[in-house]
Structure 1
């Protein structure tokens, strides 16, 4: 049988990669930008965090819009907006204009995860969901890996403004390909009938104890009555805190405390990000084997999420080494852990959600949970550095949150969301 649905995985990988290239572009150029605009570590912390404000604000509305108007249209609008904003960042003349560009970029990028979750539910059989979700999420680590080298070189050679123009232009290339080739599996002309039938038959997993209401849409308010959705969102938050610590402050940490140049910082940072891409996809594949059969609907994947978070907690060892090679290994293990956590957590959401009609809005809520923590991370880190004169406590807080998240995922996601929804409806009817 053909595997043309693999092109969908490639589309999603590239979407996520471009998304995170544009996010980290500011971090790569942080030093010259801070010098030009006379910004302190606290000021840079707010600038780093700013795109997350609008990103988080627009996530839930975007989830509803994706469920309402479809993935093709909404993904196209989103990447157009954020790519244009990224390119225009290079024209900023003040802190205010930099801030405005980042706010617009964040609003556009809010489409990415709802679209990714919805497309995976539409196109991917349930037993392949872990590895494809991992491919989608690994793009968020491939982006910083590529960006660290490419944009680091551009900043060093041509200045920081050119790097934003190039980063923005890449998004428009993806948009053109998306508009030409993408459609739902029911309508895609380039898909064989045999593969189409397989996708349509196998894309929805059954809850462990299904009943006649399992296919009905429940809506966000119904989903919010379950501890499972809240557990997924809190877990995402504990994980994303560390992700944004790396995205925003890692280049500055390497340049300030390890005294690396901008170009050397890019090369150093690229290694753990590249390693996490490979290990994240491997973790997704292993999780598919682990949950094969009844383990999908039962939420067995939660155990893999917890293990990934505990792996990420390796970040607690950062303050105890001064050796660059060991530091590189620690960062690689940590990033692999948090990359795997995000992809497995997203796959677990699809495993435990009975209705495909709710995927985008449920995904949006989980990502909102993550970005509440993500919003705090750059700002809190800026204050920690300012107060203590060190990054040690910043890494310590991140590690402890990862351990807390592992506890949450094991205790709050014990059942498919449909069970509690049906009980709640019975209570209301009575």
Structure 2
């Protein structure tokens, strides 16, 4: 990766970090919150999943808006709203108000992945997308790691309400940097001409191309949803994200209930698997970029790495039966590495299979929707299972079954490139009006 475009990778990575810090904050602070309001495990399960209710509803509409409004406004507006919702959680007085704050946070956080998917396609050569996308998605590991320690420390020494105020302020600091420095490759005045030409020449995998080609109009949702590969991407993402969200929402409670840890110690031990996952995920993504030829990338052979990650995550079956704390952390680390790295590579696979850059934000939104629908139900199902059985064995078994489905789905359903619905010369006045408006 060249020296300057790494700043774009860093910006979108930190956006996801903040996104996930705010998501896990409630999980880390769950013990004092549940004690203050007398919430049951089932009620906490609903609160943990609350942000996903609006997240999944808003993903596709915001994905459609990216092409019309632009990724800079979508991402900036999103973080402004969700940071406000995070800070205002400090003013809540019970289940309903906390749940409402989570709904607002979820709706605005839906802006990040569709817009940043388009940013990655615009800013990075094809042979760098696997690493950059996984680093970007790696914010979903770094965020919980940082959030677990930061929130635990704030809760321990200042109380849970102060913790949410501080986390909300952090989002606005990032927003200032975003508004100052982000622009498209063609407009970023801090980008050298040589690097700008390299990005444009290589982002579609054809290094011989020296000038941009005419872009096809974005495909309609109806067309995209008729493609088998889209359903493979969605199914795979759903099965991987279920495990990722089970850990994101219930890992602190799991550690506390099975090892009787304090809030601060839970924060430290929650952070360890996420930090290591970030490093391992980057190494695996780098390997996928280096080992695959340009032809292999366009043929979708990154699916083999994704299937391997799903299989690695099957170690979740050992989590309830491992009693030594450090052995447990090793198992949790490998499970998180498989689920989060696989999900990140699945976004890369979506971009690999798409032949029309204008479809990227839509397909990323559709793929993320599938993943987060299962992410939504993961904490709820886990809450009911834990309440019914008094343990986590069956909850982790459900996740393992889905991981097997995900491995099969990526290997069998994502074998065909996704061609544009319309040619670059298509007359926009003849296209369906719902697509033109989008």
Scaled to the shorter chain, the TM-score interval is: over 0.9
Q: Counterparts of 1:342 and 1:235 in 2: how far apart (Å)?
A: 8
State the TM-score, normalized to the length of structure 1: 0.94
1:395 Cα deviation after fit = 1.0
Structure 2 residue aligned with 1:425:
none
Indicate if the aligned counterparts of 2:133 and 2:345 stay in contact, CA closer than 8 A.
Answer: yes
Indicate if the aligned counterparts of 1:241 and 1:398 stay in contact, CA closer than 8 A.
Answer: yes
Sort the Cα spacing of 1:201 and 1:215 in 2 relative to 1 into closer, same or farther, 3 A: farther
1:96 Cα deviation after fit = 0.9
Q: Which runs of 5+ in 1 are unaligned?
A: 207-211, 423-430
Structure 1 residue aligned with 2:408:
407
Structure 1 residue aligned with 2:355:
354
1:404 Cα deviation after fit = 1.2
Indicate if the aligned counterparts of 1:123 and 1:199 stay in contact, CA closer than 8 A.
Answer: yes
1:215 Cα deviation after fit = 4.8
Sort the Cα spacing of 1:331 and 1:2 in 2 relative to 1 into closer, same or farther, 3 A: closer
Structure 2 residue aligned with 1:189:
189
1:122 Cα deviation after fit = 0.6
Q: Counterparts of 1:258 and 1:394 in 2: how far apart (Å)?
A: 18
Structure 1 residue aligned with 2:131:
131
Structure 1 residue aligned with 2:297:
296
What's the CA shift string for 1:208-244, capped at 9, x where partnerless?
xxxx999553232211111100110110000111111
Provide the secondary structure at the position in 2 that maps to 1:295. Answer: helix
Indicate if the aligned counterparts of 2:148 and 2:271 stay in contact, CA closer than 8 A.
Answer: yes
State the TM-score, normalized to the length of structure 2: 0.93
Indicate if the aligned counterparts of 1:3 and 1:195 stay in contact, CA closer than 8 A.
Answer: no
1:2 Cα deviation after fit = 4.8
Q: Counterparts of 2:158 and 2:336 in 1: how far apart (Å)?
A: 30
Q: Which runs of 5+ in 2 are unaligned?
A: 207-212, 424-438
What's the CA shift string for 1:74-124, capped at 9, x where partnerless?
111000000000000011112111011000000110001001101000100
Pairing 1:5-404 to 2, within 5 Å after superposition: 5-205=5-205, 215=216, 217-404=218-405
Indicate if the aligned counterparts of 1:121 and 1:350 stay in contact, CA closer than 8 A.
Answer: yes
Count how many residue pairs are aligned between Structure 1 and Structure 2: 418
Q: Counterparts of 1:272 and 1:134 in 2: how far apart (Å)?
A: 17
What's the CA shift string for 1:49-95, capped at 9, x where partnerless?
11000000000000011121111111110000000000000111121
Q: Counterparts of 1:321 and 1:23 in 2: how far apart (Å)?
A: 27
Sort the Cα spacing of 1:2 and 1:328 in 2 relative to 1 into closer, same or farther, 3 A: closer
Return structure 1 stretches of 4+ with deviation > 4 angstroms: 212-216, 419-422
Provide the secondary structure at the position in 1 that maps to 2:298. Answer: coil
Structure 1 residue aligned with 2:426:
none
Provide the secondary structure at the position in 2 that maps to 1:381. Answer: helix
1:293 Cα deviation after fit = 2.1
Sort the Cα spacing of 1:106 and 1:152 in 2 relative to 1 into closer, same or farther, 3 A: same
Q: Counterparts of 1:405 and 1:2 in 2: how far apart (Å)?
A: 34
Structure 1 residue aligned with 2:436:
none
Sort the Cα spacing of 1:69 and 1:213 in 2 relative to 1 into closer, same or farther, 3 A: closer
Q: Counterparts of 2:251 and 2:124 in 1: how far apart (Å)?
A: 35
Sort the Cα spacing of 1:269 and 1:3 in 2 relative to 1 into closer, same or farther, 3 A: same
